[in-house]
Amino acid sequence: KGIWQELRLEGGRLVRRSRHVHAVNDVSFTVGRGEVFSIVGESGCGKSTTARTIIKLIEPRSGQIVYDGEDITAYDAKQMLPFRRRMQMVFQNPYASLNPRHTIRRILTEPMLFHKLAVDRREADDKAMLLLDKVGLRQEQADRFPHQFSGGQRQRISIARALALSPEFVIADEPVSALDVSIQAQILNLMMDLREEFNLSYLFIAHDLAVVKHISDRIAVMYLGKIVEMGPKQELFARPLHPYTQGLFASVPKLGGKSLQETSLSGDVPATPTELPIGCHFHARCPYTRPICHEQAPMMKDSGSGHYAACHILEG
- Which one of ligand SF4, Mg ion, none interacts with residue 298, CB within 5 to 8 A by kind? ligand SF4
Q: What are phi and psi of 206, to 5 degrees?
A: -150, 160
Q: Are 37 and 232 in contact (CB under 8 A)?
A: no
Judged by CB, which is closer to Mg ion: 48, or 246?
48
- Which one of ligand SF4, Mg ion, none interacts with residue 289, CB within 5 to 8 A by kind? ligand SF4
- Which one of ligand SF4, Mg ion, none interacts with residue 48, CB within 5 to 8 A by kind? Mg ion
Judged by CB, which is closer to ligand SF4: 307, or 312?
312
Neighbour tally for 256: CB within 10 Å: 17
d(Cα 96, Cα 245) in Å, to the nearest integer?
32
Least distance to ligand SF4 from the beta carbon of 259, Å? 21
Least distance to ligand SF4 from the beta carbon of 222, Å? 13
Q: Are 54 and 72 in contact (CB under 8 A)?
A: no
Least distance to ligand SF4 from the beta carbon of 280, Å? 3
Instruction: For residue 199, give the DSSP letter.
Output: T
Neighbour tally for 27: CB within 10 Å: 19
Cα angle 15, 179, 155 (rounded to 5 degrees) comes to 65
d(Cα 155, Cα 86) in Å, to the nearest integer?
20
Judged by CB, which is closer to ligand SF4: 33, or 290?
290
Least distance to Mg ion from the beta carbon of 64, Å? 23
Residues that bind ligand SF4 (CB under 6 A): 242-243, 280, 282-283, 286, 288-290, 293, 298, 311-313
**Within 13 Å of residue 282, how many CA atoms lie on the same side as its CB?**
30
Q: Are 29 and 205 in contact (CB under 8 A)?
A: no
Residue from 48, 49, 50, 201 touching Mg ion (CB under 5 A): that is 48
CA 71 from centre of chain: 21
What type of residue is 13? R
- Which one of ligand SF4, Mg ion, none interacts with residue 4, CB within 5 to 8 A by kind? none
d(Cα 45, Cα 265) in Å, to the nearest integer?
15
Judged by CB, which is closer to Mg ion: 48, or 158?
48
d(Cα 206, Cα 174) in Å, to the nearest integer?
5
Total of chain residues touching Mg ion, rule CB under 5 A: 1
Least distance to ligand SF4 from the beta carbon of 285, Å? 8
Judged by CB, which is closer to ligand SF4: 39, or 293?
293
Binding range to Mg ion, per CB under 5 A, among 41-49, 116-124, 191-199, 278-286: 41-49
Binding range to Mg ion, per CB under 5 A, among 31-39, 43-51, 119-127, 253-261: 43-51
* Interface with Mg ion, residue 49, by CB under 5 A: no
SS3 (DSSP) at 261:
helix
Least distance to ligand SF4 from the beta carbon of 224, Å? 11
**Site residues (vs Mg ion, CB under 5 A):** 48
